Structure formats: structure tokens, C-alpha cells
Amino acid sequence: MENKNVRLRFAPSPTGMMHLGNVRTALMNYLFAKQKNGTFVLRIEDTDPERNFDPEAKKIIEDLQWLGLNYDEGPVLGGPYGPYFQSQRTEIYTEHLKKLIEEKKVYRCFCTTEELDKKRQRQIALKKPPRYDRTCANLTEQEIQEKLDTNTPFIWRMKLDHNKKVTIQDIAHGKMVFDLKNFSDFPITRQNGTFTFMFSNFVDDMVMKISYIIRGEDHLSNTAGQVALYEAFDVPVPMYWHMPILCNIDGKKLSKRDFGFAIRDLKKAGYLPEAICNYLAILGASFENEIMSMQELIQTLDFDHSHAKGQIKYDVEKLNWVNHKWITNYGNKKLADLCLESIIEQYPQAREINTKKFEHIVEILKPGLVTIKDINKELEFYFVPPEIKKEDLLTFQQEGILEKVAGIIERHMNLLVDIPEYTRKLKESCKKENLRIRDIFSVIRIGLMEKPKGPGVGELLDILGPQKAHNRLEKLLEIIK
């Protein structure tokens, strides 16, 4: 049964590609909403048209769908609190600013960027916290009118009550108290008349009745100002969860330089959406069973007892492990479809392989796949015949043994159509010739795929088929002789 009081949102800016930090925020909001039978809202913060990389947020929506994070309200779908693009909500922000103006909770600030910068530098030099000094809050009505008469540009600033403290409840941090005397009167608008992130973000959360705000700890500095806005409008303050920052293995904030930072890079590299979500959901916590589907994550995660940590490290090795586990859990047909998509980019002739045969090949090679892209490397031998010389073989085997091995291979070539019988005869002949099975199998592997280690010889023969296997073994015998 839907709980209409539990409403969460993911509010990305379309100024760049979705990255792991975005995905983790979206994922936690989604999982929380689903666990509490609430509503998951997608809202696009597109108030910076010059930097908009993804008009209409098409790529963001595609990425969320690929990850399985389907929203309940938002662009395309619609909902009762639209529009869901901030660029289309200016009238709503203007209406709420008017209320603050009427109640004298904001004031015009005519200070230029240069003046503000000088004040900031002076405060830093005096070892004081850089904060707006409220010059314009103390202007008389006459001084304000004079500036307006000369068309002096201005912004609206929130007038904080510096004698007051505001409180939030944070899932990880518990009760948090902010003393407003430590915060600046922050801008509500820009000089061009547009609204700042602080204000538009707050108005949208209030109007859309967002009851839980899950976001990164780097937004904690915004919280005091936004809570002051909630109190200015006399509406309940949401519950917060400021999550630890996602860092690289060296403890630095993730950046474009880190592999997998952009979600599309991970997709291109052959990572599965289930594995990415699974990995991000278990980061920083401990679970007996770490491989979980979305439904299992919804049932398992304990949002009521999340702990505060300064940072959480993104470890590609652990992601690889989770991805490998998901690959082994995938059904053969589903996995084969993804593998075929990957391999035909490099080897278009893969389209010619019979569908059932390709599924069988993928089933054999599955244990060696960490990502989907690994199929290209694992199955390269099928499309590219080995290029070997006798000296390559002699690094693995003595010449005398090579000759014995060649004799056994040649003797049983007619049995390649019956793989179990062929491998049985090879083992039998090894015993008679006083050879180790691995002596012959490693040589055959080199002849079939140019490597002494890999899938079992029977599996290799199965993948290549009798004709390809026969041709490669013939070539191997020529090289040995």
C-alpha cells in the first residue's frame, strides 16, 4: 500500500554525464522510497542553460532506466507537482519570493562582485570567517530608492536571524543544531533575475512535499540556510540523510580521472546495471550475503541505523568481484545476447554463429568473464588462428616429448568428431607413452588458442568444432615436424 507521506527526490543537473556519485544518490533515494512504499520523484535542476549538456535530461532518464531506477513522478511521466524542470518553474519561485519580501525576510543587496570579493579577502586576511557583512541590510528606504532610480543592479538576500538556532534530524548524524550567527545572509536571486540553487531547491522540495532528503555530505553546508527557509514559511522540515562522500582508493574525491566515474564508461566497459547498483548499495556497510537483487536490497538495507562516515572508498576490484558474481548468476541466453552485442563490434562474423551454439560457448567461457567485454578477449582464439613457431612450443616442452605428443595427436585425428572418445584416447596413449596428461593438453591448447592455459581441451574442441580444430592441429603438427 502506497504511503503518500513518504516522498523522496533525485534532482540532478543536466550539466554533465551521470557519474557514480549521482547514481548512488539516486539509488539510495529509490531504495528508501520503495522500502517505505513511498514515491520516488525525478526533478531536473536545469537553471544554467549555458552549461546544459543534456537538454530535456534524455541521457539522465536513459541511464536511470538502464539501472532499473524507475521514477514515479517526473519528466515525461508527469505527476501532481509538475513541471519537473526547474527552468519551467520560475513563476513558482517568484510567488514564494514575493511572500518573503512582504514579510521583510529578505533585502536587496546592491554590492558588486568586486566589492564582495574585496570584503571576503579582507576578512580572510584578518583571520575571520568570510561572511557577508550586511552592508545593504542597513540601507535606509531613501538610499534604496536612490539606487533603484539609477538602475543599480541588485540581488535579493535572505535575512537570517543571527540570534536563532535551527535543528535537523539526520539519519546518520542524529540531531544536528546550526547556530545561524555562523552563516551568511545567502542570495535568493542572481543579478539577471534567475533564482539560486539554495532557493529553487528549497521551494521545489517544499512545494513537492518531499519528506526525506538523501544527498551527499558536501551539501551539509546548505542545510542551515534551507532549514531557515522552511521556518520562514512555517512548514515542517524534512528528515535528512547526508551520505558520506564517495572517494577513490587514495581517499580523494572521485573525479573524471578515476576509472568508472561516468556511468556510461562503466556501461561501455561491460559492467552490468544490477552489479553497479548492488555494489553502490553495499558500500560502507557489512552484509552476510553481498550479492543482492534490487528487491533483496529493498528488503535488507537498514535505513534507520545508518552511521556517519567521513568518506567511503570506491574500489574497482570489489566492483569487478560483484560484476563477476552477477555474470555467473545471469541466464545463458540473457548473457549470450549481451556478449554477442559486444563481440560483433570487434568480430562482425560472430553474427554467423548459430544462436544455440553461441549460448553454449558463453556458458563454457562464463567463469572467466569479469565484465561483458571480456568475451572479446576470451573468444579471440575462435576468430584469430594461432600464430606459433616451434621455439614457442620448446619454451613449454622438451623436443623429445614434443615428438611423442605429435605422434599421439596425429594418431587420433580421425576421432575429433567424438570429443569424449578423442580425449579418452589421448589420456590412454599418454599412459602408454609414460607422459603426463598436461604434457599433451598444454601443447594442444597452444595449437588451438596460442595459450598453454585456458578452458579444458574438450571444451575448446567443442567451441571450435571438428573442422576448425582439425585445421589448427594439422598446422601444429607441421610446426613440430
The per-residue pLDDT for range 11-45, each reduced to its tens digit, is: 999 888 899 999 999 999 999 999 999 999 999 99
Judge whether 84 lies within some domain. no
Predicted pLDDT of residue 405: 87
Judge whether 14 lies within some domain. yes
Judge whether 160 lies within some domain. yes
- Which residues share a beta bridge with 198? none
Residues 98 and 230 placed together within one structural domain of the fold? yes
Judge whether 71 lies within some domain. yes
Judge whether 29 lies within some domain. yes
**Cα-to-chain-centroid distance, residue 110:** 42
3-state secondary structure 62-102: HHHHHHCCCCCEECCCECCCCCCEHHHCHHHHHHHHHHHHH
Judge whether 83 lies within some domain. no
Among 197, 218, 243, where does a domain finish? 243
Phi, psi of 236 (to 5 degrees): -65, 145
Judge whether 80 lies within some domain. no
Residues 231 and 138 placed together within one structural domain of the fold? yes
Fill in the amino acid letter for 343: I
Residues 127 and 231 placed together within one structural domain of the fold? yes
Report which of 71, 16, 45 is spatially closest to residue 265, judged by C-alpha positions.
16
Summarised one tens digit per residue, pLDDT across range 290-322 is 999 999 999 999 988 776 666 788 999 999 999
Among 243, 263, 282, where does a domain finish? 243
Predicted pLDDT of residue 310: 65
Distance of alpha carbon 52 from alpha carbon 286, whole angstroms = 38
In three-state secondary structure terms, 19 is: strand
Phi, psi of 104 (to 5 degrees): 55, 40
Predicted pLDDT of residue 344: 96
Predicted pLDDT of residue 226: 96
Element (H, E) at 178: strand 174-179
Distance of alpha carbon 372 from alpha carbon 449, whole angstroms = 20
> Residue 445 belongs to what domain range?
390-480
Residues 101 and 217 placed together within one structural domain of the fold? yes
Predicted pLDDT of residue 140: 96
Element (H, E) at 231: helix 220-232
Judge whether 322 lies within some domain. no
Predicted pLDDT of residue 96: 98
Which segments of 98-154 are extended strands (E)?
106-109
DSSP annotation of 16 reads S
Dihedral sign, CA of 141, 143, 144, 149?
positive
Below-50 pLDDT ranges, the chain? none
CATH number of the domain encompassing residue 309: 3.40.50.620
Residues 346 and 218 placed together within one structural domain of the fold? no
Residues 214 and 147 placed together within one structural domain of the fold? yes
Residues 231 and 257 placed together within one structural domain of the fold? no
Residues 36 and 124 placed together within one structural domain of the fold? no
The pTM of the full predicted model, rounded to 2 decimals, is: 0.92
Residues 344 and 408 placed together within one structural domain of the fold? no
Number of domains in the chain: 4
Residues 228 and 253 placed together within one structural domain of the fold? no
Residues 94 and 233 placed together within one structural domain of the fold? yes
Among 197, 222, 243, where does a domain finish? 243
Residues 223 and 133 placed together within one structural domain of the fold? yes
What torsion do the CA atoms of 363, 367, 370, 375 make, to the nearest 10 degrees? -40
